[in-house]
Structure 1
Amino acid sequence: MTEMTADIGTGSVVRAVDLHREYGRAAAVRALRGVSAAFAPGTFTAVMGPSGSGKTTLLHCLAGMDRPTRGSVRWGDAEVSRLPERRLAELRRSRVGFVFQAFNLMPAMTVAQNVELPGRLAGERSDRGRVLEALARVGLAGRERHRPGQLSGGQQQRVAIARALVSRPPVLFADEPTGALDRATGHEILALLRAGVDADRRTCVMVTHDPVAAGYADRVLLLADGLVADELHHPTAAQVGERLSRLGEGK
């Protein structure tokens, strides 16, 4: 396989250079083997690849949730891959949001309490106006007193997105955000992510296995064996699916 480097630009809000990530010692698993990529303001990137290709590891390293064995991650002018955990946590709260496939909501808390939870855990005072604004932006105005069990799966994912956006971060990371949703609801969530990119010039980086979901992105990074194997710009779902098939065949 030929090693590729995804666009490295000086105007990026997130930038990875020569990322390596190994797990274990005696028989180390090399999840990333030298990935470089940059993510500019106002862009939507989908990260795809076969199982075990390193896509989730890459997302976690970019989001500061995992540390590379070698290489660097920068958020703007801050090199975050070697920061002390406390300083990294502070930066993470202000600069990035993260959306998980499983929603990760607290069932005993109201919608509003779930949205404000990360700030409260950090010892910050809740800004009720900002919480209500975040809920309104994801189409949940008036639902702040509901509990997650009273909402549909799509609505719960909207709460998770509001929670990620309440601090108004310039970057949003999403790990299979539509994986637990039916197709129609998944389209609604993808349209919401796309709107945030277009309206707010937010940078969105999303791991997905779905070529249709990747069709919402400006760019698709295709990983294989811990390397960037290909890069597609404004692809159709059919083009993504065809290229994934070729990757699965080792071509």
Structure 2
Amino acid sequence: MAEMTKDFATGPAALARDLHRDYGRGGAAVRALRGVSVDFAPGTFTAVMGPSGSGKTTLLHCLAGIDRPTRGSVFWGGVEVSRLPERRLAQLRRSRVGFVFQAFNLMPAMTVAQNVELPGRLAGERPDRERVREALARVGLAGRERHRPGQLSGGQQQRVAIARALVCRPQVLFADEPTGALDRTTGHEVLDLLRSGVDQEGQTCVMVTHDPVAAAYADRVLLLADGVLVEELSRPTAARVGELLSRMGG
């Protein structure tokens, strides 16, 4: 495990090489990804966009080790994680990667602190209370440790979900439509939080979004269509992203 951690510090924070993902078999098979290759440099923010069914969430799940590619490779640093046994992959994912879902995925009967601790507890680890407090403070929820999700706004619940992803101090944070269930003002607050993690902590963030305004927070935008990477846009603005999506019909 120590060797894996060391390798993580070399090269791109994450990368995919000739990534394919098929669902089903034979004539009924759906080809969600068709040979995607892409690098994510350390300390960068990338937005992944495309029409519905373009493969953007599948790409994110494969990059994060949640799903396995049919063929091709995924690397975190110098480690080819797409070929790791499930147990070793889970160990590395818990210590080096964070994932934020659109639906928050919080346990309503647990306190905020318990929700943040949950991934570690499921892995059989003793909770580090100081680390939990630090993660909650970083997302602006200091002092809310004993609240339950139902006592929080939607934006605050998403902040808890981000704190849960940050508690292991991940080098790469993957986010799947993190503002999709939020109003625009609260969404901007969450995006500011993701952006500050890149700028102040040197984190790498990869975010799937359908919103050109959200994509404008990123350093670059990747556009997918029919499982293929079709365009890359650096220094995006909402207007430029909107134009590209309109051309693609998405």
TM-score (ref. length: structure 2): 0.95
Question: How many Å apart are 1:127 and its aligned residue?
Answer: 0.5
User: What residue in structure 2 maps to residue 49 of structure 1?
Assistant: 50
Instruction: Render the CA deviation track for 1:1-39: whole Å, top value 9, x for unaligned.
Output: xxxxxxxxx831101000000010022110000000000
Q: Distance in 2 between matches of 1:34 and 1:248?
A: 22
Match in the other structure for 1:32: 33
Secondary structure of 1:52's counterpart equals coil
Higher helix proportion, which one? 2
Partner of 1:182: 183
Taking the aligned partners of 2:180 and 2:100, their CA distance within structure 1 comes to 12
Deviations 1:87-142 (A, max 9, x none): 11001001100000000000000000000000000000110000000000000000
Q: In the TM superposition, what are the counterparts of 1:107-118 in structure 2 within 5 Å?
A: 107-118=108-119
The residue identity in structure 2 corresponding to 1:141 is A
Match of 1:235, SS? Answer: coil
Aligned residues with identical type, % of pairs: 84
- Any residues of structure 2 matched to 1:198-209 within 5 Å, and which? 198-209=199-210
**Aligned-partner SS, 2:82:** coil
Stretches of structure 1 lacking an aligned partner (at least 5 in a row)? 1-9
| 2:11 and 2:78 in contact (8 A); partners too | no
Matched, 1:20 2:20: yes
Does the residue aligned with 1:34 lie in a helix, a strand or coil?
A: strand
Name 1:244's counterpart in structure 2.
245
Runs of 4+ in 1 over 6 A off after TM superposition: none
- Secondary structure in 2 matching 1:81: helix
Deviation, 1:235, is: 1.0
State the shift of 1:84 in Å: 1.0
Corresponding residue number in structure 1 for 2:218: 217
Distance in 2 between residues matched to 1:134 and 1:59, nearest whole Å: 23
Residue 176 of structure 1 and its aligned partner are, at CA, apart by 0.2
How far residue 76 of structure 1 moved from its aligned partner, in angstroms, is 0.7
Question: CA shift at 1:247, angstroms?
Answer: 1.0
- Identify the residue that residue 87 of structure 1 maps to in structure 2: 88
Give the match's secondary structure for 1:36.
strand
In the alignment of these two chains, the number of paired residues is 240
Q: Distance in 1 between matches of 2:147 and 2:35?
A: 45
Counterpart residue identity of residue 160, structure 1:
A
Residue aligning to 2:152: 151
Output one character per residue of 1:207-226: Cα deviation in whole Å (capped at 9) or x when no partner.
00000000000000000011
Please give the alpha-carbon distance, in whole angstroms, between the structure 1 residues aligned to 2:43 and 2:116.
24
Alignment root-mean-square deviation, CA: 0.9
Gaps of 5+ in 2: 1-9
